[in-house]
Structure 1
Amino acid sequence: MTRPLNYQIEIEAPSERVWQQMLSDAGYRDWTSDFCEGSYFEGRWETGADMLFLGPGGQGMRARIEAAEHPNYVSIQHLGELREGKPNSGEDWTESFERYRLSETTPGQTRVAVELTGVPEQYIEMMDGMWPKALARLKAGCERD
C-alpha cells in the first residue's frame, strides 16, 4: 500500500462558501479542470450516495460517499475506473479514499485539508503535480467577489 498523500490550502472565505464552491456543479467543474478539462460529477454529496466522476468521453471513476458532514467533511470511497462509461477492471481502486476536511482557522478563513489513501503508485507523481494547482484554482474561485 502506498503512503497517504496530503495537500492543504488556506482560503479567505468561510467554510460554507468553500463547501458550496467545491461541491456545486459549476464550482466543481471549475476547480477540477486541472485534473481533466470538462470534469463533472453525477450524484449527490450525501452519506451513502453513489457518485460518478466523469470527463469527456466517459472516462472517470465510480465512487460512494462514505460520509458527508456539511460544511466540514466529505469522504469519498473510490470503487473503480470507468472507460467509455463502462467499468474498467484493469486497476483496483477499492481501497482508495479521498477525504476533505474544512476548518475555519479564523472567522472568514478556511483551511482545506485533503488526504488521499490507496492511490496506485504509478499515479503519485501525477497527483503531486495536479493537486496544488487544483487547490489554487479552488482558492481563486472562493475568493472572487
Structure 2
Amino acid sequence: MKILEFKTQINAPAEKVWKVLFTQDANKNWSSAVNEGTYFEGTWEEGSVMRFLDDENNGMYNSVEKNIPNRELTMKHLGWIYDGELSPQDWEDSTVTYLLESNENGTLLTGKINALDEFVDFFNSKYPSNFEK
C-alpha cells in the first residue's frame, strides 16, 4: 500500500466545491477525467454503498466511511462491478479521502488515497487531470 496525495487550490467556496464533487451532473463532468461517462448510484450517507459505473454497467463500488459535508468524505474501496454484478475484492484498507479546507483564496482540495501497489500508476496518471478539472 502506498499513500498518494493530490492537492489543488480552487477559487470557490467549499460549498460549491462539494457540490461539484458529490452531485450527479457536476460529478459526471469532474470524474470524466478518470473515465468518460462515469456516473454514481447511491447516497453519500455514512455506511452506504456507492456504485461508480460506466455506460456498460461496469465499475467499482465503495462504502462511505465518513461524511462531514463541505469538509471531508472518506470511502473504502470494496470491489469491482461487472455487468451490474458486485465482485468483492480483498483490497485491504484501500481508501480515498477528499478534504476541503477553506482559506483566503477559496478552497484547498486534497485527495488522499491509500492505494494498493497495482493501482498506484493508475491514480498517478488520472488524478492530477481529475483535480485540474
* Superposition TM-score tier, normalisation by shorter sequence: over 0.9
- Percent identical pairs in the alignment equals 26
Mapped to 2, the partners of 1:66 and 1:94 lie a distance apart of 14
In structure 1, the partner of 2:125 is 129
Does structure 2 retain, via aligned residues, the 8 Å contact 1:63–1:79? yes
Amino acid at match of 1:124: V
Which protein is richer in strand relative to its size? 2
Kindly state the Cα deviation for residue 94 of structure 1 after the two structures are TM-superposed: 4.5
Q: Could you say which residue in structure 2 is the equivalent of 1:120?
A: 116
Contact 1:78 1:93 in 2 (8 A): yes
**Cα offsets for 1:54-90 (capped at 9, x unmatched):** 112111112111010011000011111111211235x
For residue 143 of structure 1, what is the aligned residue in structure 2? none
**How many correspondences in the alignment?**
133
Q: Could you tell me which residue of structure 1 aligns to residue 86 of structure 2?
A: 87
Equivalent position SS for 2:78: strand
Q: Which amino acid aligns with 1:136?
A: E
Aligned to 2:103: 105
Q: Match for 1:4: what amino acid?
A: I
| Secondary structure, aligned partner of 1:16 | helix
| Paired AA for residue 121 in structure 2 | E
Please give the TM-score of this superposition, normalised by the length of structure 2: 0.93
Aligned-partner residue type, residue 24 of structure 1: T
- Conserved in 1, the CA contact under 8 Å of 2:47 and 2:64? yes
TM-score with structure 1 setting the length: 0.86
Aligned to 2:35: 36
Instruction: Choose between structure 1 and 2: higher helix proportion.
Output: 1
For 2:18, give the aligned amino acid: W
Which segments of 5 or more consecutive residues in structure 2 lack a partner in the other structure?
A: none
Residue aligned with 2:12, SS: coil
